[in-house]
């Protein structure tokens, strides 16, 4: 199989983790007889510095012409004070919108070897395997009007939470389809006791739910969901929610798996390339130090192989290699216990490739 992959390393630790992910893909290609061709392009702060825009037209074109997109992360303190459209994050939002990547899949898996990496009790974490589906191209991050202005009462500011029924319906349908392939239990998270947008979300979920009688639909208010995720995460299988709630809940859920450096994601549309990126950001506090955990990006590569290329066996080979590396006690700094030795980003990359090649040390 020959596939074109657009690689957008971005800022901070983005280039460090994507470099290792590209090496991993090359290794998968070698082992399974595939050719992955990479086209690198700028996004975020590095694109702003070079071109004055966080998503250059050329980058968007490369993405449109690719079979899948691999992204590191964008942003950092250097660009934090620019106006909204001159922020690195605006480039990523624009890319998601332009490619209509409305369904963001964020699986949260507790690797048995990492049960002790979390601050939660092992018995609470046992068997946790949930899928958060976050709406990605609507809601507060996109609604208009937005911005600030001087008023008689001083400075005022507005962000708009806007959803059409069609936007809500398509992501809910995707969630029901995914729930059907899992444990057939879907929790729809909203704030229907306060927000009109959430009331439409809930009505739509109830309506679409009638087409999926085999899937048990439950509604949960977002504040309670945030608490339940920590109290008893095992009660969740598939979770669907709007853009900002999903953003926040998935970072929270990352702590079940031990680190934000463990959480991958896939952003999918109805046609065209999928975008694969770790859930974490550019981590300026550790950037340039070879300390980042690349496993979230590796797991995102596995999602790419599965969802975009239908290469189930290859995806499982990556997941298995990661399982074994962790079982054998290898950790990056974010996962290591106090005083425990840890691997750098590049060493973890080498280790996972070695396990993929079955070059397992005795």
Ligand X SMILES: CC(C)CC(=O)C(=O)O
The stretch among 166-174, 236-244, 288-296, 304-312 that binds ligand NAI (CB under 6 A) is: 288-296
Question: E strands along the chain, which residues?
Answer: 2-10, 35-40, 68-73, 103-109, 129-135, 143-151, 154-160, 185-190, 216-221, 238-241, 266-268, 274-276
Q: Is 49 a catalytic residue?
A: no
The dihedral sign for the CA sequence 40, 43, 45, 48: positive
User: By CB under 6 A, how many residues form the interface with ligand NAI?
Assistant: 21
**Distance of CA 272 to CAs 21, 63, 65, 305, 325, Å?**
22, 9, 9, 15, 34
For the bound state, the minimum distance from the C-beta of residue 276 to ligand X, rounded and expressed in Å, comes to 13
- What DSSP designation does 241 have? E
89 part of the interface to ligand X, by CB under 6 A = yes
At closest approach, how far in Å is the CB of 38 from Mg ion?
25
And the tokens for 281? 């950001």
Shortest Å distance, C-beta 96 to ligand X: 8
Scanning residues 223 to 262, which ones bind ligand NAI (CB under 6 A)? 260-261
- Catalytic, out of 3, 247, 276, 334: 247
**Structural contact between residues 63 and 32, judged by C-beta atoms closer than 8 angstroms:** no
Binder among 202, 280, 306, 331 for ligand NAI (CB under 6 A): 280
Cβ atoms within 10 Å, residue 322 = 23
Give dist(CA 322, CA 343) in Å, integer: 14
Catalytic residue among 251, 307, 324, 342: 251
Residues 6+ apart with CB under 8 A from 122: 115, 116
Candidate segments 113-121, 187-195, 207-215, 289-297, binder of ligand NAI by CB under 6 A: 289-297
Residue 73 interacts with which of Mg ion, ligand NAI, ligand X, none, CB < 5 to 8 Å by class? ligand NAI
Residue linked to tokens 């709406």: 135
The number of residues that bind ligand X (CB under 6 A) is 5
The answer to whether 114 and 125 have CB atoms below 8 angstroms apart is no
18 binds ligand NAI (CB under 6 A): no
Residue whose entry in the numeric block shows the structure tokens 């510095």: 49
| Identity of the residue, 195 or 244, whose beta carbon is nearer to ligand X in the bound complex | 244
191 as an active site residue: the answer is yes
Q: Which residues in the 16-55 window bind ligand X by CB under 6 A?
A: none
Judged by CB under 6 A, the chain residues 245 through 264 that form the site for ligand X are: 247
Q: Does 93 bind ligand X (CB under 6 A)?
A: yes
Residue 93, binding choice from ligand X, ligand NAI, Mg ion, none, Cβ under 5 to 8 Å by partner class: ligand X
Minimum distance, C-beta of residue 41 to ligand X, in the bound complex (Å): 17
Query: What whole-number distance in Å separates Cα of residue 331 and Cα of residue 161?
Result: 40
Cα 144 to Cα 139, 162, 212, 283, distances in angstroms? 10, 8, 33, 29
What distance lies between CA 66 and its chain's CA centroid?
A: 19
11 catalytic? Reply is no
- The one among 334, 343, 349, 353 contacting ligand NAI by CB under 6 A: 334
Question: Residue 80 annotated as binding?
Answer: yes
What's phi and psi for 178, nearest 5 deg?
A: -70, -45
The minimum distance between CB 251 and ligand NAI, in angstroms, equals: 7
328 binds, among ligand NAI, Mg ion, ligand X, none (CB under 5 to 8 A by kind): none
Q: What is the three-class DSSP state of 120?
A: coil
Give one DSSP letter per residue of 132-152, joined into a string: EEEE-SSGGGTEEEEEEEEET
State yes or no: is 196 an active-site residue.
no
Residues in the site for ligand X, rule: CB under 6 A? 89, 92-93, 247, 279
Annotated binding residues, written as ranges, equal: 76-89, 96, 106, 134, 223, 247, 251, 281-293
The residues annotated with a catalytic role in the active site are: 141, 191, 223, 247, 251
User: Which residues make up each annotated binding site for NAD(+)?
Assistant: 76-89, 281-293
Q: Which residues are annotated as a binding site for Mg(2+)?
A: 223, 247, 251
Residues that bind ligand NAI (CB under 6 A): 13, 73-76, 89, 92, 260-261, 277, 280-286, 292-293, 296, 334
């Amino acid at each position: 199989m020959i596939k074109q992959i657009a690689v957008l390393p971005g800022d901070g630790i983005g280039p460090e983790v994507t470099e290792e992910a590209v090496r991993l893909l090359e290794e998968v290609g070698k082992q399974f007889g595939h050719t992955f061709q990479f086209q690198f392009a700028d996004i975020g702060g590095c694109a702003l510095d070079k071109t004055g825009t966080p998503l250059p037209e050329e980058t968007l074109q490369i993405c449109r012409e690719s079979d899948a997109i691999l992204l590191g992360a964008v942003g950092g303190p250097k660009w934090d004070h620019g106006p909204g459209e001159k922020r690195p994050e605006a480039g990523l939002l624009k890319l998601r919108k332009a490619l209509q990547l409305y369904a963001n899949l964020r699986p949260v898996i507790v690797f048995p070897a990492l049960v002790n990496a979390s601050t939660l009790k092992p018995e609470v974490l046992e068997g946790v395997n949930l899928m958060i589906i976050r709406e990605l191209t609507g809601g507060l991050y996109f609604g208009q009007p937005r911005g600030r202005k001087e008023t008689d009462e001083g400075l005022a500011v507005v962000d708009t939470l806007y959803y059409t029924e069609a936007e809500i319906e398509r992501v809910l349908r995707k969630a029901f389809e995914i729930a059907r392939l899992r444990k057939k239990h879907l929790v729809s998270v909203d704030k229907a006791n306060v927000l009109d947008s959430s009331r439409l979300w809930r009505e739509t979920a109830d309506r679409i739910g009638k087409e999926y009688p085999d899937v048990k639909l439950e509604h949960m208010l977002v504040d309670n969901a945030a608490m339940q995720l920590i109290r008893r995460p095992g009660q969740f299988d598939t979770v669907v929610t709007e853009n900002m709630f999903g953003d926040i809940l998935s970072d929270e859920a990352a702590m079940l798996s031990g680190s934000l450096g463990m959480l991958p994601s896939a952003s999918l549309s109805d046609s065209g390339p999928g975008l694969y990126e770790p859930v974490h950001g550019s981590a300026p506090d550790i950037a340039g130090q070879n300390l980042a955990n690349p496993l979230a990006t590796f797991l995102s590569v596995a999602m790419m192989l599965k969802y975009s290329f239908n290469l189930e066996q290859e995806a499982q080979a990556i997941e298995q290699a990661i399982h074994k590396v962790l079982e054998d006690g290898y950790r990056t700094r974010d996962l290591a216990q106090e005083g425990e030795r840890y691997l750098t980003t590049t060493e973890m990359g080498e280790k996972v490739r070695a396990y993929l090649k079955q070059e397992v040390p005795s």
